[in-house]
Amino acid sequence: MTSSVVIVGASLAASRCAAALRRGGHDGAITVINAEAHLPYDRPPLSKQFLSGEWDADRLPLLKPEQLTEFEIDWRMQTTATALDVDTRTVTLDDGSTVQGDHVVIATGAAPRRLPGTEGIAGVHLLRTLDDSTGLREELAARPNASVVVVGAGFIGAEVAATAATAGHRVTIVEAAAVPMERGLGAEMGAFCGSLHADHGVDLRLSTGVTGVRAGADGRIAAVELSDGTELVADVLVVGIGVVPSTAWLDGSGLTLDDGVVCNAHCEAAPGIHAAGDVARWPNERFGEVMRVEHWDNAVEQGIHVAKRILGEATEPFAPIPWFWSDQYEHKIQLAGRPKAGDLVEIVTGSMEERRFAAIYGDGERLTGVFGLNRPRHVMQYRRKLAEGVSWADALHFAEEARSGS
């Protein structure tokens, strides 16, 4: 097949899409528009092994040197797409040039939200890119035993807190919600994950907002003012209050934008234009829900799915079971499925006290999710049950049998 493909964004979804295209026999041109100065690298270590200093940047590339050669990709480095003409599938770049493709893949991901009032203050960090992580890593290394304030107890905030606390810093997490990560994990498991911080001496302030920040005479962050009237000393401030899909460059393109690029069940936004990864919103028919998923595995699967669509291979709608992991302290947290607030939660193996367990979620009728703390195998077991679409009763029965059988 000799059609041409333009991929906008050069991260996980883009790399896996390009690799799957080449492996599937696509021999036309592949052009990748990369806003960053680095070839595609993996983000999860940026809040974990890379941030802690355990790994260096040479561990992060998503494509191996031989793949870079073999795939013959036309990389447009440090180049930002500024517009898309949907009818002709022409992408305008910030240098004024244009690239036209038979197919366009939108893989521009998401970018972190800023905390208002922190612009221009040194020592305030967002965490999304390798450069972000390098900056934070250097600052933490240069300030042993620093007072680190993390705003947001979501996954990024929790991981940064864990990494910083493990390195000996004094860490406080400030979270506006009463329960961390309630939307993704439900109240019970969200509260449980929050409780892991106390095990490691990290101070988690729930139901607390940031009302202001104060810089010192040197222009560096000095303190954070909280909604309960207290003030926290801060040598370093890390903001982890969520991300916004990177779609500003598509304003006015005619594509439907609504917290992401809105696609059909095949991840198609318009004829010949697909979206994949953190930027894509599509109806996942398995769950009967229009979703946008900010997980590593989704970017991989969706990137590959889009490649198969371009190759003419994928005829089924894209209907994965969302799955993610988060490593905090010595714990491996995983969740598969799409539990909803108010779902039943049942621990099926281990216990919270021993910090090793798996719990399943159900809406009374069907199994809706599985949460694991240091129980990867069980999570995958129930992920398969989710794929089978088992009932809640059958899931409980399976758990019962597994318990008595072992």
Partner 1 sequence: MAFKVVVNFDLCESNAICMDVAPELFEVRDDDFLYVLQDTPADDLREKAEAAADRCPKQAITLEDLASQQ
Ligand X SMILES: Cc1cc2nc3c(=O)[nH]c(=O)nc-3n(C[C@H](O)[C@H](O)[C@H](O)COP(=O)(O)OP(=O)(O)OC[C@H]3O[C@@H](n4cnc5c(N)ncnc54)[C@H](O)[C@@H]3O)c2cc1C
Q: In the complex, which residues of this chain contact partner 1 (CB under 8 A)?
A: 16, 19-20, 23, 42, 44, 64, 296-297, 300-301, 304, 323, 325, 332, 334, 376-377, 379-380, 383-384, 406
Partner that binds at residue 333, options ligand X, partner 1, none, CB closer than 5 to 8 Å by kind: none
Please identify, using beta-carbon distances, which residue of 210 and 304 lies nearer to partner 1: 304
Partner that binds at residue 390, options partner 1, ligand X, none, CB closer than 5 to 8 Å by kind: none
Minimal distance, residue 383 CB to partner 1, in Å = 7
Please identify, using beta-carbon distances, which residue of 163 and 349 lies nearer to ligand X: 163
Dist. CA 49–CA 104, nearest whole Å: 34
Please identify, using beta-carbon distances, which residue of 3 and 49 lies nearer to ligand X: 49
**Nearest alpha-carbon partner for 130 in 224, 27, 47:** 47
Dist. CA 13–CA 95, nearest whole Å: 24
- Residue of 39, 106, 107, 224 that binds ligand X (CB under 6 A): 107
Minimal distance, residue 347 CB to ligand X, in Å = 23
| Residue tagged 């590959």 (tokens) | 304
**Nearest alpha-carbon partner for 267 in 233, 301, 304, 306:** 306
Q: Count Cβ atoms below 10 Å from residue 288 Cβ, excluding itself.
A: 8
- Residue of 109, 184, 322, 339 that binds ligand X (CB under 6 A): 109
50 binds ligand X (CB under 6 A): no
Please identify, using beta-carbon distances, which residue of 16 and 125 lies nearer to partner 1: 16
Which residues sit opposite 184 in a β-bridge? none
Which strands, in side-by-side order, build the sheet including 203-205?
124-125, 236-239, 147-151, 170-174, 203-205
Partner that binds at residue 148, options partner 1, ligand X, none, CB closer than 5 to 8 Å by kind: none
Identify residue 151 by its one-letter amino acid code: V
The residues in 340-399 that bind ligand X, with binding defined as CB under 6 A, are none
SS3 assignment, position 95: coil
- Residue of 192, 296, 329, 357 that binds ligand X (CB under 6 A): 296
41 binds ligand X (CB under 6 A): no
Please, are residues 224 and 356 in contact by the beta-carbon 8 Å criterion?
no
Minimal distance, residue 283 CB to partner 1, in Å = 23
What backbone torsions phi and psi does residue 337 show, to the nearest 5 degrees? 105, -160
Please identify, using beta-carbon distances, which residue of 323 and 382 lies nearer to ligand X: 323
281 binds ligand X (CB under 6 A): no
Please, are residues 7 and 105 in contact by the beta-carbon 8 Å criterion?
yes
Dist. CA 344–CA 285, nearest whole Å: 23
Dist. CA 341–CA 92, nearest whole Å: 42
Minimal distance, residue 332 CB to partner 1, in Å = 6
Partner that binds at residue 107, options partner 1, ligand X, none, CB closer than 5 to 8 Å by kind: ligand X
Please, are residues 246 and 33 in contact by the beta-carbon 8 Å criterion?
no
Please identify, using beta-carbon distances, which residue of 11 and 147 lies nearer to ligand X: 11
What backbone torsions phi and psi does residue 52 show, to the nearest 5 degrees? -75, -15
Binding residues (CB under 6 A) for ligand X: these are 8-14, 33-36, 43-44, 46-47, 80-81, 107-110, 127-128, 156, 246, 249, 277-279, 294-297, 299, 324-326
